[in-house]
A and B are shown apart, each in its own frame.
Chain A
Amino acid sequence: MAKAGPSKEITHHEGELTATRDRARRQWKLDAISTGTGVFLALFMWGHMFFVSSILTGERGFNWISDLFEHYWLAQPTLVVVTIVFFVHFVTASRKIPAKFAERRRVKKLGDDISHSKWNISKQERRELDKVRPHKETSLWIWQVRSGMIILALGSVHLFVVIADVVQRTFDIGEGLGINAAETMARVQGGMWILYAILLYAVEVHAGIGLYRVTVKWGLGAKIPIIGSRITRGMAQKMERIVLWFFLIIGFITLLVMAGVIDPPLEFLLPPLPVAS
């Protein structure tokens, strides 16, 4: 334990002191890694959404981007890094999940009880109270754990499929098409849309809550550069909601296009090439 002042020499042997410091260092590192990998994945997912939604301009845009990425060896290293980060995040973030069922139940019960559910206050008063002291945090966290588990299962499947595609083109195996719009759309229409719809929702919810929690855990009270005001919980919540809906809407439109339910809304930007006769 921290000792300064006169008691330092008396209570600590050198070795003991190093041991507690190393331990603190390790635990700081694990927390920083789970946060860092989480933020990295969330930022990656935004970029990912941006590129996948190129399907909104039609198959040409989508294929152009995937060809570019695979041809210039951008897709391959990214895939390796993201896959590693994905599992590192899973391992480090899961440390925070209580191991025993009774403990998890206790967390939920406390959260439910604290949220005034059994207090005799009017709906309006409750809303007023929520403004100053919102209490959704426990359920947000529980949903973060649940969505994380869904991502682990479905995301692994998705990663496997994509890696298989990219490996085929890179090493010229089989048809060697790589990632391409036709095959992706066929897959989505063949039933994979269920997986992608659930995965999309889980990822956006998980990343949204995650970024909100990172802001609150690390940034609360810090001055925002340029604007000069300090970060508050309300601010972080608002931001999270905007980001969540923005990506959810784009994501679901993209999925609808892939499933062939609607035509690419931005096709006029990149009309399909005339078929050579």
Chain B
Amino acid sequence: MARELTLRIFRYDPLNPESKPCFVDYKMEETPRLNLFVALHRVREKQAPDLQFDFVCRAGVCGSCGMMINGRPTLACRTLTAELPETITLAPMPAFKLIGDLSVDTGTWFRGMSERVESWIHTQKEFDPKAEEQRMDDGTAQKIYELERCIECGCCVAGCATANIREDFLGATALNRIGRFMLDPRDERDSEDWFELVATDEGVFGCMGLMGCDDVCPKELPLLEVFAYMRRRMSQVAAGRAKADAGTSQPVIT
């Protein structure tokens, strides 16, 4: 027998002064292999035409549909209702600006993040369009690719206790991005440059290591490993600098 589902959805329109934040229940019959992407569209078609939520690819690729599903930040398009109990509570992700109902503005956040970590290759080399592309060994390329798989869904930020209570915290996806450029041999930023960006309370030493990010990342990025690598590398930098301070002009480990 098909279950009757209750979608308990957070409703609030910040632009409408009469709107008050509340949860509204929508009932529907469960159909085989129903996922939340389809379920939410049914609600919008039949019951609440003004319901706001985001979807683009419905295949776990674009990162638009992150929301709190029974308290856990994850991609709605990849969540089957069969995995959930009959009452499904849907709320917008915290830590981002609310657009309305389930829709949040991850775009502005990610744009700011990219600017803050200067998410581009820093190089002094003149670009020569005619030259052959610079070669990179397979191992490095694969490592970088692994971290590049981030779809900017924001789940790791919503699931991070530190990001939830501290607005200035960079967040897992930003640290992951930094790790990606640290690994890239074409980026000329040196350890000292990285140090002041990540070795702070807003960076990796503000992270409490509660691992919410690693546990919710829908792309299963090795976030914790990236952080451990950063902590080690930053400590090498600090140790190298301590030596330099003491007079032996040892080069900083890179």
Contact = CB atoms under 8 A, between A and B. Distances in A.
B99 interface: no
Size category of the binding interface on chain B: 35 or more
Summarize A's interface: helix, strand, loop or mixed: helix
Contacts of B197: 1-2, 24
Nearest to A96: B208
Contact of B72 (A116, A120, A220, A222): A116
B132 interface: no
B192 interface: yes
Given A111-B161, A133-B215, A5 B228 contact: no
A120 B238 contact: no
A187 interface: no
B137 interface: no
Nearest to B125: A5
A106 B161 contact: yes
B245 to A, nearest CB: 10
B217 to A, nearest CB: 9
A234 interface: no
B228 A27 contact: no
B227 A24 contact: no
B238 A25 contact: yes
Interface string B33-75: 0000000000000000000000000000000000010111100
Interface string B195-215: 111011101011011111011
Contacts of B216: 114
A196 B88 CA distance: 47
Contacts of B203: 24
Interface residues of A, number: 51
Interface in B207-239: 208-212, 214-216, 220, 222, 224-225, 227-229, 231-232, 234-235, 238
A265 interface: no
Nearest to A109: B71
Interface string B111-144: 0000011100011100000000000000000000
A107 B161 contact: yes
B4 interface: no
A221 B222 contact: yes
A96 B234 CA distance: 19
B193 interface: yes
Contacts of A6: 124
Contact of A2 (B89, B196, B214): B196
19 contacts: A1-B197, A2-B118, A4-B122, A4-B187, A4-B190, A21-B195, A24-B197, A25-B199, A28-B200, A96-B208, A107-B164, A114-B71, A114-B73, A118-B84, A120-B85, A138-B210, A216-B211, A221-B228, A222-B228
Given A4-B190, A218-B231, 5 more contacts: A2-B194, A21-B195, A25-B199, A107-B164, A217-B228
